[in-house]
Amino acid sequence: MWNSLPGGLLVLPEYSTHLAHFPFFYLNLGVSPGQEFTAVIHAVTPLVSQSQPIMKLLQVVSKSKYCSQIIILWNSEKPAPHRTKWPPMPVPLIVTDGRRKTTSRFLPNAAIETDAVLSLDEDTVLLTSEVNFAFLVWRSFPDRIVGYPPRSHFWDPLKHAWGYTSKWTNDYSIVLTGAAFYHRYYHHLFTHYLPPSLRALVDRTSNCEDILMNFLVSSVTHLPPIKVAQRKQYKELPSPQGTKGLPWTNPEHFNQRQECVNTFASWFGYMPLVHSQFRLDPVLFKDQVSVLRKKYKDLERA
């Protein structure tokens, strides 16, 4: 059974004595969340070159003045490289064993001491200014997923089933966790509230963990995620071996995501995802004024 906090928000009973861990705590008492974040990068590609996307990502994220530390969740079949293989950074770097499970990225981690988690795929391409802006937005909405790559669901009356689309439109109901902020409390809910069968499905297919996290958060908040401005679109770069074998190039990968949406909706007993057209941009973003007046100049240059 769930317990209620003031305002009608729901929490698991085993965590009801630890209000400081709830993203809802801030909303009810008017207290701001922490001013730093922990980046968790999900790595599956063996490290063979210093020019791989993850190296650039490490530099970009570590330059954020809000970054407390970076955790690399090593989920490759090959052993993690020695610490000397990683670039020097101004923040602590921790490399942990992902146990080769897709859901390991959402396991509670004692090393995460910040309220905010920045979840990243190893091939995510962002600027430091994009990271900074998204984090400041999250601090205003600590109960939501805040990030960049949007997706959406829809009802297909011909198939009498839910559908999933990756088309870029103004309407969305999912923000992918390959580049998104959320509260660390959702690691506990993902691990201890969701049934083992759903987590096993994600691990078996190596797919849909981002969709499942969106289902979970929207079921708790009854609100959509929040998309923030970005330069063009979420970019996924091919591995050094090329695009062959990458999951998103396989049609079965998309079909699995369609099936996941229906499986998750069936377990929840309803469709918790909420549609939105809301996007937050920096002040003067794309306005025809001098770039010198803009705080996030890089977002418009690239």
Active-site residue list: 210
Helix (H, G, I), strand (E, B) or coil at 180: strand
Task: Identify whether the C-beta of residue 236 lies closer than 8 Å to the C-beta of residue 150.
Answer: no
Strand partners, 147: 180, 227
For the chain, the farthest-separated pair of C-alpha atoms sits apart, in whole angstroms, at 56
Q: How far apart are CA 238 and CA 52, in angstroms?
A: 10
Helix (H) or strand (E) holding 116: strand 116-121
Written as one letter, the residue type at 202 is V
Q: How far apart are CA 8 and CA 107, in angstroms?
A: 26
Helix (H) or strand (E) holding 204: helix 196-205
Task: Identify whether the C-beta of residue 297 lies closer than 8 Å to the C-beta of residue 291.
Answer: yes
* Cα 189 → chain centroid: 15
Q: How far apart are CA 147 and CA 176, in angstroms?
A: 7
Helix (H, G, I), strand (E, B) or coil at 122: coil
Task: Identify whether the C-beta of residue 121 lies closer than 8 Å to the C-beta of residue 57.
Answer: no
